[in-house]
Structure 1
Amino acid sequence: MNALRNSAAFFLSHPIARRQYLRTILRILSWQILSRLHSVITVRWIGGTKLTVSRGAKGATGNLYYGLHEFSPMAFTIHMLRPGDVFVDGGANIGTYTLLASAIAGAHTDAFEPDPGTIEHLAANIETNAISDRVTVHASALGDRIKRVSFTSGLDTMNFVSDRGDQTVQMTTLDSLSLSPALLKLDLEGGEQSAVAGAERTLRDPKLLAIICEDNAPEMAALLAEYGFERYGYDPFERRLSPEPRALPENGIFIRELQRVSARVSTADRTSVFGEPV
């Protein structure tokens, strides 16, 4: 019952669903039917991209329903990045953020995904969208040191580093790779603080303008503030950034160079999200 209530609340609050109530319902019903007929489906997504999704991939299906499941941070990714930028996709899963960054915005993505099965789906989406020259896949988790760690499997987007994990994967640190990203995304199911601990030099790099972080609780906000990052809300339709002192349900957006970032998002081309210019 709680799951149904949460799904209904998300549906009613999503900006695309509010603008396209009936069309969103039809997209949800269509996926429910198609996913029972086919185990893997490739569909047209946004900005000319294609998304290959497997039955049961709950983390990805929201993008088929709403265009951009995590509306503000996903739109921010498209608007913030430019060709020549580096985007670090920490916790890439099947590559939705990677496609936004590299197929639409034209940036180079370093995608980190430790689960072997998920990497296969990530690689398929990269190949389908012909962006292999703009994406480097790192088969590893991000953390505070370089070592082998136990990792869960079979939990879709919820896999995480755990002593009770049923597979062993490689962990690495951002600082060991010297990537100089303009935008960093950390969606690591509780591993964000560990990744930050292994990224001190990366976080001080002046090229890094913004961070999208699943953990946007006060403790993480205070930690990122030590590097000059403050939490902002983002309105993709208005291209407006505003100080956001509260932790929001979706991934938090933390910005260090507000003027530079505002200039970028305000001048980015619009992308059609199921017919809505964003």
Structure 2
Amino acid sequence: MRRAGPLTYRGKAIPDTTTDQRLLDRRGPADWVHTDPWRVLRIQSEFVEGFGLLADTGKAVCVFGSARIKPESPYYALGETIGSKIVKEGYSVITGGGPGMMEAANKGAQEGGGTSIGLGIELPFEQSLNPHVDVGVTFRYFFVRKTMFLKYSQAFVVLPGGFGTLDELFEAITLVQTGKVTRFPVILVGTRFWGGLVDWIRDTLLSEGVISPDDPDLIHLTDDPDEVVDIIRTAHAEIIGHRTATEQASVDEGAEAVQQAADAG
């Protein structure tokens, strides 16, 4: 008979090696590192790293945008301005950490004296975190990275971008629409760039009845960096006010219940 931790083996079932021997033996196939159970541990470790990195972030705004926009583009300068204004309002800036619009927002945040955060992603083509990221991490899995974007942001600012930006935009809108996240503002910057999309949402999605009448109001469209900050400030104040009113109502209900119990006694 052999005991292996909580397990008991007898007769032919007794293994030829101990658990420690198998752990320390470097020989044998390494296919196990590519199995789904091992991937689950990697996914868990990415969540732990992300939560640990961002736990003390405080107020933050997530800025999405294309990696392909060049520094000479007017959009790049717009991204810098928005990043700077956001941090001067007391928020950190979170981006995907790459080049283009992400770099612009990180640069503006860094030069504005705020915290510039980059959440990168492992891609088939090499893309490192841009040099204007103060705090950064690179993820293997898109869905872990998206969780970090959404969990730690009080607003979503969407600069011009392609499929990746659209994916992040509609992920944010869906979570706000379904109440999975608090109704933080989603702000599209660039009326010429995004105007056709907003018109299609109103003229096609709404007219076909596949979204609710109030859903288009989840999206703000502007060209003005100051308006971006105003929308964020106003929305945050409303959220805080709603929470305060809810907490006060709960206190009042508790006090009323105590008073009713005392009167009954």
Verify same fold: TM over 0.5: no
State the TM bucket, normalised to the shorter chain: 0.3 to 0.5
With structure 1 as the length reference, what TM-score do the two structures score? Answer: 0.38
Query: Between Structure 1 and Structure 2, whose CA radius of gyration is higher?
Result: 2
Q: TM-score, normalised by structure 2?
A: 0.40
Larger helix percent: 2
